Amino acid sequence: MPADQPHGATAASQQPAAQQSAPTAAPAAPARLAQAALRDVPWEIGVAKPDPAIVVDGVTRTFGGLTAVSVDHLEIQRSGITGLIGPNGAGKTTLFNLLTGFDQPNSGTWSFDGRSLGKLSPHQVARLGVVRTFQLTKALSRLSVMQNMLLGAKDQRGEGFFRSLVPGVWRAQEKANTEKALDLLARFKLDAKKDDFAGTLSGGQRKLLEMARALMSDPKVVMLDEPMAGVNPALTQSLLGHVKDLREQGMTVIFVEHDMDVVRDISDWVVVMAAGKVIAEGPPESISQNRAVVDAYLGAHHDAPLTVDEEERVLAEAAAAIAREEGVSGEVLSSESTDREGTQR
Ligand SMILES: Nc1ncnc2c1ncn2[C@@H]1O[C@H](COP(=O)(O)OP(=O)(O)OP(=O)(O)O)[C@@H](O)[C@H]1O
Ligand SMILES: [Mg+2]
């Protein structure tokens, strides 16, 4: 089913001016290429992309009675940055887990470059070039920064035992890996910390380390789960720069982010999930006006914006309903009912 397009516009008539004008304006070449490739793609859920790296079909994952993921069809364009957004619990992390072999679905298939990734372990998926970082960082705190990096290389390439039986090969490999790690650490401004325990790094530095570690295996697709979350604002710009760099190097990036300014800044395409499903996709400027998206974020399904009176009535009704359940006075609760976080969960 087509996603709502703002003002009933067609994809063609809504292309942003920046994409139509001469390429003298800001974005770097890879960004322009990625955006140009997607220029004529309709803003429809499940729409085919000109050059998809990842294709997902009928992937579902349930936990007990809860459907965490139910994606009919999704294509991720190669060498672009796709922002994956959606309210808490939408299924974004679960989808990452499934695509990278950290979890198995109830049904469905998905592929990278036409090769099915179903039933592969995270190692095998990584060896094919698809890596991810975690929402909660998984840097190993009792290892040094450098050891974390080297583990990334071995781990993700699935190398190890047999090679380690041949010392010469192993040493050459380790030297190459160490050099590569130093290069990456310098790029992420972590080289001065290479001998420190990862546990001593700040949250933001751990995120950087995780991203650097993911790059040790020369991936083709990088999935970043909230790379900016918990990162000191002073570091977010450089982190954003690193994400853009991945695109410069031809990588396909999928990243989960809650901050819409960040999403608008770096995404070539945005996929919106809610309650396990993809509810909209399109370029960043198509998303904020999209009714399904607005509804999903508000957690409400109404046909027109609420007036102040209506909102007060809805809140009063909710307070009264909770009061009936809890056996307390509605007035006591009505002052607390604005805590949306509490009532949504
Ligand atoms: N291992 C699990 N067992 C049971 N339920 C789970 C499990 N993992 C996820 N869920 C549930 O699946 C749903 C989707 O969760 P998921 O973590 O994928 O959401 P998300 O979009 O990443 O949210 P957030 O923005 O908060 O990170 C949620 O309702 C969550 O509680
Ligand atoms: Mg998540």
Q: What are the residue boundaries of the structural domains of the chain, listed by start?
A: 30-139+202-298, 142-200, 306-334
Ligand at minimal distance from the CA of 85 is: 1
pLDDT at 288: 83
CA nearest ligand 1 atom 27, residue: 88
Q: For the residues 193-205, what does the mean pLDDT come to?
A: 90
Q: Does position 302 have pLDDT exceeding 80, yes or no?
A: no
Each residue of 2-43: pLDDT tens digit?
444 433 333 333 444 434 434 445 666 777 788 889 999 999
CA nearest ligand 1 atom 8, residue: 94
Ligand at minimal distance from the CA of 70 is: 1
Q: For the residues 327-340, what does the mean pLDDT come to?
A: 39
For the domain made up of 30-139+202-298, the CATH class stated in words is: alpha beta
| Environment class of 26 (CB within 10 Å of its CB; exposed 0-12, middle 13-18, buried 19+) | exposed
Any residues with Cβ below 6 Å from ligand 1, and which?
63, 66, 68, 86, 88-94, 135
Q: DSSP E strands: which ranges in the chain?
A: 52-63, 66-77, 81-85, 107-112, 115-116, 130-132, 221-225, 252-256, 269-274, 277-282
pLDDT at 195: 96
Q: Does position 221 have pLDDT exceeding 80, yes or no?
A: yes
Each residue of 88-132: pLDDT tens digit?
999 999 999 999 999 999 999 999 999 999 989 988 898 899 998
Q: Does position 304 have pLDDT exceeding 70, yes or no?
A: no
Q: How confident is the model at residue 314 (pLDDT cuts 50, 70, 90)?
A: low
Least confident of 92-101, 130-139, 206-215: 130-139
pLDDT at 229: 82
The CA–CA distances, whole Å, from 217 to 158, 265, 342 equal 10, 27, 41
pLDDT at 109: 97
**Distance in angstroms (rounded) separating the CA atoms of residues 98 and 223:** 12
Least confident of 152-166, 209-223, 278-292: 152-166
| Environment class of 22 (CB within 10 Å of its CB; exposed 0-12, middle 13-18, buried 19+) | exposed
Distance 181 CA to ligand 1 centre (A): 33
Residue 135 CA: nearest ligand 1 atom is 27
Query: Cα 214–215–218 angle (5° rounding)?
Result: 120
Distance 309 CA to ligand 1 centre (A): 34
pLDDT at 83: 97
pLDDT at 310: 60
CA nearest ligand 1 atom 17, residue: 93
Q: Does position 193 have pLDDT exceeding 70, yes or no?
A: yes
The mean of the pLDDT values for the chain is 80
pLDDT at 228: 85
Among the listed residues 274, 293, 296, the one whose alpha carbon sits nearest the alpha carbon of residue 284: 293
Q: For the residues 299-311, what does the mean pLDDT come to?
A: 56
- Residue with more model confidence, 57 or 233: 57
Ligand at minimal distance from the CA of 91 is: 1
pLDDT at 64: 93
CA nearest ligand 1 atom 4, residue: 63
CA nearest ligand 1 atom 11, residue: 68
Least confident of 101-105, 187-191, 316-320, 331-335: 331-335
Q: What pTM does this model have?
A: 0.77
